[in-house]
Amino acid sequence: MNISKRLKTIADLVDTKRVIDVGCDHGYLDIYLTLYKNCSCIASDISSNAMKSCIENISKYNLNDKIQTIITDGINNIKIKKEDTIVISGMGTNTIIDILNNKELSDTIIISSNNHLEELRRFMVSIGYYINNEVYILEHGIHYVIIKFIKGNKLYNDYDYILGPIVIKDNNYKKYILSHYKDILNKIPSKNDGLLNYYNKIINYIETESI
């Protein structure tokens, strides 16, 4: 079975036997995890159209009795166990925070957010998780950072939240994010000293201190 590089990266980070796939879309991750990692999956999506496609794909692989499907908003109406892995992929950070905030959660959460990774990291740490792993991939011209959070506590500085304490060690990511921040810096008006200083500090950190 062929799945996208992003989904394969997420699957590689899974090391539990039960997975709740939030926003499962076509169900490819659940099918892959069931076939190749012997996981028990719950595929959830708020969209009935997406779920219809998911169920059709599950049927093609004769996995109807192995993958549970549910139409729901986030993780509502799903009983989460500590030993599960929650996967949330393809959404923005604000939506992800809304899904996870004030909920009973598993000890392992894997997230691929479309935006605002600093805010995501700060939120997850604030609710008692640490950053176990971060993986950067480039697929079809889109840059992804997939983050695995584990229940527990670690101390982080501002650069850890902004850049990622693990992914910044990936040279490909470092080149990308350095170019990204330099592009931003070049668009800031010269009179905006605050923003200029902020991005210059980040660029300097990437170039001289991150290893």
Is residue 164 in a domain? no
Same domain? 133 vs 175: no
Do 27 and 59 lie in a common domain?
Answer: yes
- Per the structure, the complete domain to which residue 133 belongs is given by 5-154
Give me the pLDDT at residue 211, please: 59
Half-sphere exposure of 60 (CA within 13 A, CB side): 12
Asked if 176 and 143 sit in the same domain, the reply is: no
CA angle 80, 85, 87 (to 5 degrees): 100
pLDDT at 26: 93
Q: Are residues 65 and 103 in the same domain?
A: yes
Q: Please count the other Cβ atoms lying within 10 Å of the Cβ belonging to residue 99.
A: 19
- Measured from the Cβ of residue 68, the count of other Cβ atoms closer than 10 Å reads 16
Please indicate, yes or no, whether residues 127 and 180 belong to a single structural domain of this protein. Answer: no
| Token pair listed for 102 | 């004030």
CATH of the domain at 116: 3.40.50.150
If one counts the domains in the chain, the total is 2
Distance CA 156, CA 143 (A): 24
What is the Cβ-side half-sphere exposure of residue 24, based on CA atoms within 13 angstroms?
35
Asked if residues 50 and 24 have their Cβ atoms less than 8 Å apart, the reply is: yes
Strands 18-22 and 40-45, sheet pairing: parallel
Are residues 187 and 138 part of one domain?
no
Read off the pTM: 0.96
Residues 6+ apart with CB under 8 A from 145: 112, 113, 117, 134, 135, 136, 164, 167, 173
Question: Alpha helix (H) ranges present in 61-116?
Answer: 93-100
10-residue mean pLDDT series, the chain (211 residues): 95 98 96 97 95 97 96 96 97 97 96 97 98 98 97 97 97 96 94 94 90 59
Closest CA to 29 of 48, 17, 43, 49: 43
